[in-house]
Structures are given as C-alpha cells and as structure tokens.
Amino acid sequence: MNPISLRKKLTITFLMIALLSLAFVGLFANVSLGKQFEDYATARLNQTINKTVNQVTDLYVRSGEQWSISSLDETGMALLIDGLILRVEDTNGQVVWDAQVHNNGMCLRILQNMAQNMQSYQANFQGGYEEQSFPAVVNGAEVGTVVVGYYGPFYFNEADLQFLSSLNRILLIAGAVSLGACVLLGAYLARRLSKPITDVIAATGKIAEGNYSDRLTHAENTAELVALSHSVNSLAASLETQETLRKRLTADVAHELRTPLTTLQSTVEAMIDGVWTADETHLNSMREEVLRLNKLVDELGTLSRFESESLRLNTESFDLRELCQQTIQNFESIARQKGVSLTCAGSQAFVEADRDKIGQVLINLMHNALKFTPAGGTVSITTTTEHDRAVLTVRDTGCGIAPEHLPFIFERFYRADPSRARETGGSGIGLAIALAIAKAHNGDIRVSSTVGEGSEFVLSLQLHPVS
C-alpha cells in the first residue's frame, strides 16, 4: 500500500472537519429555527383565537346584545380563510351558528389542506382537528360560548411554508459555499504546512548525499516548523564542520607521519649512496624521528582508550590542590629556563577520580600554557569549589587564541597556528586527550581566551565531600 502524502492527509482532514462542522451547524440551525418557528406558530394561533373570541363578543354587543346570524356568517366565513372553524352556542348550549353546518365541504377541504401542508413540512407530523371553548362575557355576564376549531397543535400556512423553504434553501447554499471555501482554505493550509516539511525532506536528502552547504530559510512563523528548520540547519552546519575537521585531520595525520618518514628516507638514502656515513650523529637523528613516530602512535592509542566506553578508572579520593602543588614542581626548571613565573593557589578541592589520569590532564594543560607563554609571563594554577563541583583553573599570559579557533581547540591535531607546529613541538593531541579524560570522569574542560592577553582553561569535576 502506497503511503499518502501529508498534504493530502491534511486536505482530507480539513475537509472532514468542515463537513462535520457544517453538518452540526446545519442540524443545530434547523432544529433551533424549527423549534422557534413552531413556538411562533403556536403563539400566533393562540393570539388569533383570543382575537376571534373578542371579535365574536363584540358582534353580540353591536347586534343589541343578541346573536346576529348574518354577522356570525360573515365573520365565520372570514375565519375559514385563516383556517379557523367557528361555532357559537347560547347559554343553554344550543348551537347558534356552526361553520361545519354552514359549509361543511369547505371546512373539510381546509383541514385536509392543512394536514397536507404539515405533512410536507414534517412527514411524521402528529396533528389533527382540535377545539378550544371560551365563554363570551358581556358586562360580567356570560352570554354564550365561543368554540374555535383548528388543525393542531399548530399549523403553517402557505406563506409560512414558503418562508421555511426559502430559509432551508439559503442555508443549503450557504453550506455549499462554506464547504467550497473550506476546501480551498484547507488545500492552502495543507500546502503551507506541508511545504516546510517537504523542504526539510529535500534538505536532509542533500545532507545524506554529502552536500552540507545549503540552509533552510525560516519563512514560516510556526514555532515548531521554525525549530525543525533550525535543527536541520544546525545538523548541516555541524556535519559541515565535522567534514572540514575530518579532512583537516587526514591532512594533519599525513603531515605528522610524512615529516619524520621523509627525514628517515632521506637519511637512509644518503647512507646508501655513500653521501653520509652511518655514524652516531646520523643514527641518533634517525632514532629521534622513530621516537617521534612512536610518540604519535602512543598518543593516538591513548586518546582512543580514553574515548572508549570500556576505559577503566582507578578512582581514589584526593585533593586537587595537593596534586597541583606536586605537579608544578616538575615544571619549575622549564619555567625558569623560559623566564616564566609559576604560581599555585586556592583552597582544598577533593575529588573521587583516577589520580594519574587527572595528573595527565594537568600536565597537558601546563605544557600548553608554558609552550605559548613568553619570557616575563606568568602561568598560574588555582583550585576552588563551586556548589558541587571542584574547579581547577590554569591561566597564562601568553599570546592567546583567536575567537574563531576556540570551538575547535580540543579537536585532535588542531592547531590555531599551524605554521608554529614544528617550532613549538607536540602533535596537537594533548588537549583532545585532556578533554577525553575529563569526560570519562563526567567532567568538562572550558576555555576562554583573549588575543594578546592569554588563555584560561578550567577543569570541572564532581566534588567529593570529605568527612
């Protein structure tokens, strides 16, 4: 079974909602208006009957307080036109005038016509001939009885039925127009809602093909669609950055391997050609290049182990400040040779961690700080606690790191200034190893830097309270 597009589903959904809404509104309007019109017909009938009783009583008074057959005949025939059948009785119950006696055929035709009208209005309408009796009272004395017959409990005349027919026709036309408008509006909304999603599908298709440069525009003002577009754009940007770093990593690895290998190759070829002799100087040079290669491989292996989920940590409780004081002693001679001042300060900060590996982090950060701090500069280490975190800060007054390089400073082989790589030494993996160790301890390393003023690396670990 082929899947149905979102646009088609939304259009069908809007159409169904419109149909249900129109059906509900139509049913409600029909029932409500029908009930109100029935109440109106009943009230009108009662009002007409009361008017008839008053009219017949007035005839009695105008005829010298006696029943005039000619007047009753004229009034009764006029009432037949309105669908009312009049009968008048005296105080003794004797019939003075009866429309059914006077013109029974016309009365029957009127009742039949009313029944047909009401059946056309409502097929199962339950109605029939009904009568109401009212005393005719003159000056407080009852002079007779006025009986009014009609088709009840209510009835609609021709004008009423035409009005109801016109009203139903108007409602039907309005419903058809509304349904058409809902279809058009639903199709428009379905297209507008589905288009950003189809754009996302197209964008993710390009991402899958390796094209990370295209970005989605936020033309919509729907929060969820804007968030979806933003997420896809962020994914594309992240993948583009990772692809750039991957290519750079490949180039950097090739460069790191090529340099010592080229040196080894040229030295060996010179010895083979007899240009150089295999003396201690040249052999030591070759040994240094081999050691450099060994160091690079070892660091890559170390990084791989630290990034592995199966890394084993030999944790113990120790004070970061004490570790810093011990570590800084190993760098005093290097700092003295460079003319850099080393300081260590702060409060106790106990952690539950692998002491050797955290020491490796500190060593890498110290190497990095001393490497880029000129003579006369300062490298300081500070330990403190913030809430439930132990914080170790390594701050230097070196050359600093440009803002565009900060997001990538912990990437393997990444160097903010590649031209100084050979000059400063190192493989560009130290910071990557430091971050991997921190992550393995559920910690983190943050960096902030200002060009020309120095950098600050902050190691954050879970504080381990000591009783």
Q: What is residue 27's predicted lDDT score, i.e. its pLDDT?
A: 77
Q: Which of 17-26, 109-118, 218-227, 421-430 has the lowest mean pLDDT?
A: 421-430
Q: Which residue has tokens 């903010």?
A: 416
At residue 215's C-alpha, the angle toward residues 211 and 220, to 5°, is 145
Mean pLDDT over residues 316-334, rounded? 92
- Model confidence at 446, pLDDT cuts 50, 70, 90, reads very high
Residue 419 has pLDDT above 60, yes or no: no
User: CA torsion sign, 67 to 73 to 78 to 79?
Assistant: positive
**Quick one: how far is CA 324 from the chain centroid?**
49
Mean pLDDT over residues 2-16, rounded? 75
Mean pLDDT over residues 345-355, rounded? 93
- Side by side, the strands of the sheet bearing 128-138 are 95-98, 85-89, 141-152, 128-138
Supply 368's token pair.
Answer: 């990095």
Share of the chain above pLDDT 90, in %: 23
Residue 14 has pLDDT above 80, yes or no: no
Residues 139-183: pLDDT tens digits? 888 999 999 988 877 777 777 778 878 877 887 888 788 878 878
Q: Which residue has tokens 């240009």?
A: 275
Asked if the 6-176 domain carries CATH number 2.60.40, the reply is no
What fold, for 212-311?
Answer: Helix Hairpins (1.10.287)
Q: What is residue 256's predicted lDDT score, i.e. its pLDDT?
A: 66
Q: What is residue 376's predicted lDDT score, i.e. its pLDDT?
A: 93
Look at the chain and count its residues: 467
Q: Is 43 exposed, middle or buried (0-12, 13-18, 19+ CB in 10 A)?
A: exposed
Residues 364-402: pLDDT tens digits? 899 989 999 999 999 999 999 998 999 999 999 999 999
- Report the distance separating Cα 226 and Cα 223, nearest Å: 5
Q: Which residue did the predictor score with more confidence, 196 or 439? A: 439
Q: Which residue did the predictor score with more confidence, 119 or 377? A: 377
Q: Where are the domains of the chain?
A: 6-176, 212-311, 312-462
- Report the distance separating Cα 62 and Cα 379, nearest Å: 126
- What is the pLDDT of the chain when averaged over all its residues? 82
Q: What would you report as the CA-atom Rg of the chain, rounded to the nearest whole angstrom?
A: 51
Share of the chain above pLDDT 70, in %: 89
Side chain identity, residue 447: V
- Report the distance separating Cα 92 and Cα 322, nearest Å: 128
Residue 298 has pLDDT above 60, yes or no: yes
Q: For residues 331 and 342, is the Cβ–Cβ distance under 8 A?
A: yes
Q: What is residue 219's predicted lDDT score, i.e. its pLDDT?
A: 60
Mean pLDDT over residues 242-258, rounded? 67
Supply 234's token pair.
Answer: 């962020």
Q: What are phi and psi of 73, to 5 degrees?
A: -65, -45
Q: What is residue 422's predicted lDDT score, i.e. its pLDDT?
A: 45
Residue 275 has pLDDT above 60, yes or no: yes
- Residue 197: CB atoms within 10 A of its CB come to 14
What fold, for 312-462?
Answer: Heat Shock Protein 90 (3.30.565)
Residue 421 has pLDDT above 50, yes or no: no
Name, of 40-44, 148-152, 165-169, 458-462, the range with top average pLDDT: 458-462
